[in-house]
Structures are given as C-alpha cells and as structure tokens.
Amino acid sequence: MRALISVQIREPYFTKVFKPVVFALALLPLALLGWGVWQDTLGANPIETVTRSLGEWTLRFLLLTLLLSPLRRATGWVQGIRLRRMLGLFAFFYGVLHLLSYLWLDQFFDWAEIWYDIVERPFITVGMLAFLLMTPLALTSFKAAIRKLGRNWQRLHTLIYPLTALGVLHFWWLADSKARTEVPLIYAVLLAILLGERLWRWFAPRFNKTPVTH
C-alpha cells in the first residue's frame, strides 16, 4: 500500500515529548479507575466495573498495538512502530491487573474454584489461554531477548494474532447470549479489519501473479 501522507515528528520531540505523553495517557485509564474507587463514583458494583474496565483496556491496547504497522503502511508514519513495544507491554500490564482482579476480588484466591472455572467455563478458559500466550511476549520484549531469539523472535511474536482473537472471544462469550454482544462485536470487527489487512497483504501478491484482464 502506498503511503498517503508522510508525517514524522522531529526527532528530539518524538523521544522526549511524544513517547512520554503516550506513556502517561496509557496510565490514565488506571488513574481514573483508582480515582473512581477512591471517590466512590463507579456505581453500585465498583468491583465489577474495575474488573471489566481492566479487561477492556487490555483488549484496547492489544488492538492499538496491532494498529501501528497498518497505520505505517497507510500513512507512512514509521515512528509509530517505535511505540509498539510500549503499547504491547501496557496490554500485558492491564492484562495482569485484569487477571489479578479476577483472582482476588472475584475468587479471593480460592484456587479450587479458580481451577474449576478454568476447566468448566469456556470464557475463562480462553481468557486464561490468551493471558498465557501474552506472557512470553512480554518476557521477551527487551533488546537482548530480541537479539538472542533472532528470527524466532518474529515467529514468537506472531502469537499476538491468536491471543488477541482469544481475548475478543473471551469478551464475546461473557455476554448474555444474544443480548449483550454489541460491544464485543465492535472489538471483533476492529480485529477482523486489522487481521484482514495482513491477510490481504499476504494473499494479494499471490493472486496478482495471474494476469488480470481488464
């Protein structure tokens, strides 16, 4: 895909200003939740609100992470790629908090009950699986690991595709049957666009080998 526009942020500002601002913005949801708990503005069931919100922010950061390379291809904004690790790690950060809120505030570390949940409830199973797949990606996100793993690092990190899909499925299966799938549907559509763009790039050259008649 040809770049439509090509905006770049001048160098010292990208590293010194833009990136820190993105970092601070990424912490904002957590800060707002904390403020809400403290000020008691999260409604009648604040724990549910916190758990769900942390889960949704995990998905949002995963989708943002997946957005950066298509965004580069569409706009020529190459610097975005340099935010990818940070946003991916924020996805993991919110994922850890989401999991903790389930283990603590929902189950109070009742391991038998948690194990039962994982085994018996498909939406918990896929949620846990998504988290398990996210963990090695977070653990290999530093430079030495990237160097050491070489080509395998790329291969390993393609796990973001299935794990994000599992995360969306986790959200989808949580909803009451038909009634509340509207929000999960939005995530599913966004994911389908982001994955579809990649599939398109992968398939399109193969199709183009056969001559097209106009």
Residues that bind another protein (CB under 8 A): 43-45, 47-48, 106, 108, 113, 116-117, 120-123, 173-174, 176-180, 182
Q: Which is nearer to another protein, 4 or 179 (CB)?
A: 179
Report, in Å, the least distance between residue 93 CB and another protein.
24
Best CA proximity match to 86, nearest among 141, 18, 7:
141
Nearer to another protein, 121 or 198 (CB): 121
Whether the CA torsion 27, 65, 51, 135 is positive or negative: it is: negative
Please give the Cα distance from 135 to 200 (Å, whole number).
Answer: 28
Judged by beta carbon, residue 66 or residue 124, the one nearer another protein is 124
Shortest reach from residue 43's CB to another protein, in Å: 6
Cβ distance to another protein smaller for residue 52 or 73:
52
Q: Name residues whose C-beta falls within 8 Å of residue 136's C-beta, 6 or more positions apart in sequence.
A: 156, 159
Give, to the nearest 10 degrees, the angle between helix 182-208 and helix 160-174. 150
State the nearest-atom distance from the C-beta of 52 to another protein, in Å. Answer: 11
Residue from 37, 40, 38 nearest 50 by CA? 37
Q: How far is the CB of 41 from another protein (least distance, A)?
A: 12
